[in-house]
């Protein structure tokens, strides 16, 4: 059992460490260095001394100078990702580290304002950094400046992530469908990051019921499957722009037609379009017919 002296010693050490942390969070380098010296003197065995020193050095090295090239941004991004992030999580704790890191990502994003999007260095752009900073509108604005962003997988995924956070799922089914057809693996990443419980639930149900290849590629069929489960979303999914006219895209558009033909009672046309759906994907066809 811990005696009174040990209890005092431990709490004193925590208090001194917290002094360092508070100064780091306030970006007060002189105060942070002074507090760290006191911690080192009294508790040289503290197992976070190295991480705290690293964080203080990073705060002192902060600058608002704009990046002049993608390579400079990449170097700073990797340092924040591979060095500062684990150091902050260990020294500050998960919750405080998350807040501190969001500020750092935002600072990098500001410095990346002049760098154009490059397909060979997709992460070295302001938009994904603004997402890490959870500055959703600023991220969306940065994506909107990329020419033909809606036809490029990474910017499309960034815009979807930002808009889901800003607007929710209902108004963004079109973008979701386009990303599903263009790059289903990126849609899987966006879904994992989305706090939308309805979307999470629907994807889970899709994965349990849709028999495809068994990996992220199946998500290309997700928009079509959604129409079978929730026909009322047809108007929202109709807003999806034409993509490469892949089989998953064709299937969704055929299902939209089928829902319209059902409302009109056009039985002959229904038979023909149902056969088209069957030829595109027999699993979807079976799911559709099961509900008829």
pLDDT at 10: 56
What is this structure's pTM? 0.91
Instruction: Enumerate the domain spans of the chain.
Output: 1-62, 64-146, 148-292
- Count of C-beta atoms within a 10 Å radius of residue 224: 29
- Characterize 191-200 residue by residue with b for buried, 16 or more Cβ atoms within 10 angstroms of its Cβ, and e for exposed: beebebeebe
Query: Measured between alpha carbons, how far is 140 from 138 in angstroms, rounded to an integer?
Result: 5
- pLDDT(202) > 60: yes
DSSP state of 146: S
3-state SS record for 198-238: HHHHHHHHHHHHCCCCCCHHHHHHHHHHHHHHCHHHHHHHC
| Confidence grade of residue 8 (pLDDT, cut at 50, 70, 90) | very low
Which of 10-19, 32-41, 235-244 comes out lowest in average pLDDT? 10-19
Which residues are CB-neighbours of 210 under 8 A, at least 6 positions away?
A: 218, 221, 222, 225, 283, 287
- pLDDT for the residue 56: 97
d(CA 106, CA 166): 18
Phi and psi at 195, nearest 5°, equal: -85, 0
pLDDT tens per residue across span 75-100:
999 999 999 999 999 999 999 999 99
């Amino acid at each position: 059992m811990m005696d009174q002296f040990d209890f005092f010693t431990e709490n004193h050490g925590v208090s001194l460490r917290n002094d360092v942390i508070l100064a780091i969070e306030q970006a007060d380098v002189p105060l942070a260095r002074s507090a760290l010296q006191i911690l080192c003197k009294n508790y040289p065995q503290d197992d976070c001394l190295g991480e705290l020193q690293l964080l203080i050095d990073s705060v002192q090295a902060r600058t608002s100078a704009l990046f002049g090239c993608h390579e400079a941004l990449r170097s700073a991004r990797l340092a924040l990702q591979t060095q500062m992030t684990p150091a902050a999580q260990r020294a500050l704790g998960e919750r405080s580290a998350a807040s501190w890191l969001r500020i750092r990502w935002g600072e990098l994003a500001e410095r990346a304002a002049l760098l154009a999007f490059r397909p060979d260095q997709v992460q070295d752009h302001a938009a994904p950094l603004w997402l890490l900073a959870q500055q959703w509108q600023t991220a969306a604005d940065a994506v909107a400046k990329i020419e033909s962003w809606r036809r490029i997988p990474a910017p499309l995924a960034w815009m979807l992530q930002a808009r889901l956070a800003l607007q929710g799922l209902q108004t963004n089914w079109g973008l979701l469908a386009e990303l599903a057809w263009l790059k289903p693996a990126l849609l899987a990443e966006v879904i994992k990051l989305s706090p939308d419980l309805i979307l999470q639930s629907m994807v889970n149900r899709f994965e349990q019921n849709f028999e495809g290849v068994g990996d992220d590629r199946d998500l290309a069929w997700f928009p079509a499957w959604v129409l079978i489960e929730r026909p009322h979303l047809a108007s929202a999914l109709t807003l999806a722009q034409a993509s490469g006219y892949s089989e998953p895209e064709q299937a969704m558009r055929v299902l939209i037609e089928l829902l319209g033909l059902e409302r009109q009672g056009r039985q002959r046309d229904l038979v023909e379009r149902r056969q088209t759906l069957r030829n595109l994907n027999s699993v979807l066809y079976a799911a559709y017919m099961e509900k008829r």
